[in-house]
Amino acid sequence: MTDLRHLALFLLLLGFCLPTQAQERAKPRNGEGVSTFLQRFGYTSRAAQEEFMEINEGKFTRDGGLILGRSYRLPSGAKGKRTKKNRNTVTEPLFGPRLKTVKVQSDELDGACLYLVSGHGGPDPGAIGKVGGRELHEDEYAYDIILRLARSLMEKGAKVHIIIQDAKDGIRDDRYLSNSERETCMGEPIPLDQVARLQQRCDAINRLARKDKEKYKRSIFIHVDSRGKRDQVDVFFYHSPGSKYGKRLAENIHRTFDRKYDKHQPNRGFRGTVSERRLYVLLKSNPPAAFLELGNIQNERDRKRLVLPSNREALANWICEGIVRDYRQR
């Protein structure tokens, strides 16, 4: 009997001595889905994602999205190996002094090459909206979102070419972005003539694409529309007629936006569409491409999609997530 008591006491003490690990918890950032949230902490395997969904059951939106402000348990690693973060860094001065160093956090897009083009630039500001005495220029907002998208893609291991560049403006957190005519096409002055301007950026993409060895090459064109002040519109996606992979890319980004809208504005619905369009840059550039119109710069509600830096970041993250989705289907 005494021996049994000693054994029970020994097992009790052993239980107190066994190492325990408190499971880590974290909150999502604006615009993050499950995969991008987990990648931030080094989890890239399907098993880790399945464990995450299981241990946080009941804490998601109807479509399985994350809820801002909610704390989520991270996978323990028992069911899915926690991959070691890639500690390589990339330097891109175009992002500005504060953000020029990019830590590559995963190899999720390793082998992907993206050509990113913000609309207009140089002597052509594109669509112009007005708030009070301020002019909001399409090229400035499209460029800021392109930079944010480029950084997100680089964090996932993609090779990225930023076709339209401004040596001074990095990623900016201002609501009202200052206007300039400094933009170049990879260092070359941008012509005022529309056809020459569009052909210049297509030539730059095609020249790079001939040299790049990656099998997955895609172009993203970002623009802002200009319509009547009362016309609130969603993001529209275009691809070149007959482009199988351009269509798939546009559809994958569209699906991502559809899910995000359902999560963040469940009662509003998402009315953006995917369609063919014979746009010059889609017809003349060689890699499969998606062309995005992000909203109506004249509409007050659409402008919030552009002027709030958190919204610009969310747009970039959602586009990136759609590209990741497309890359997995290659």
- Check residue 217 and give its pLDDT: 98
* pLDDT value of residue 87: 59
Residue 18: the pLDDT is 40
Structure tokens at 54: 């299981």
Q: What is the pLDDT of residue 267?
A: 65
| Full DSSP string of 154-222 | HHTT-EEEE-EE-SS--S---SSPPP-S--EETTEEPPSSHHHHHHHHHHHHHHHHHH---SEEEEEEE
- Residue 326's identity, in one-letter code, is D
- CA distances in angstroms from 101 to 87, 95, 98, 105, 154, listed in the order given: 12, 8, 8, 12, 10
User: Which domains are seen in the chain, by residue range?
Assistant: 2-73 (no CATH), 89-328 (3.40.630.40)
N residues, the chain: 330
pLDDT of residue 230: 77
- Confidence (pLDDT) at 246: 98
* pLDDT value for 195: 97
Structure tokens at 171: 């990623």
Q: Let me know: does 109 contact 88? Beta carbons within 8 Å.
A: no
Pure H helices in the chain: 2-17, 34-39, 46-55, 138-155, 194-211, 244-264, 280-284, 300-307, 309-328
pLDDT tens-place values along the chain, 330 residues long = 555 455 444 444 444 334 334 468 899 988 788 878 888 888 877 677 778 887 888 888 876 788 999 999 998 764 343 344 455 899 999 999 999 999 999 999 999 999 999 999 999 999 999 998 899 999 999 999 999 999 999 999 999 999 999 999 999 999 999 999 999 999 999 999 999 999 999 999 999 999 999 999 999 999 998 887 777 778 899 999 999 999 999 999 999 988 887 776 666 666 789 999 999 999 999 999 999 999 889 988 888 889 999 999 999 999 999 999 999 998
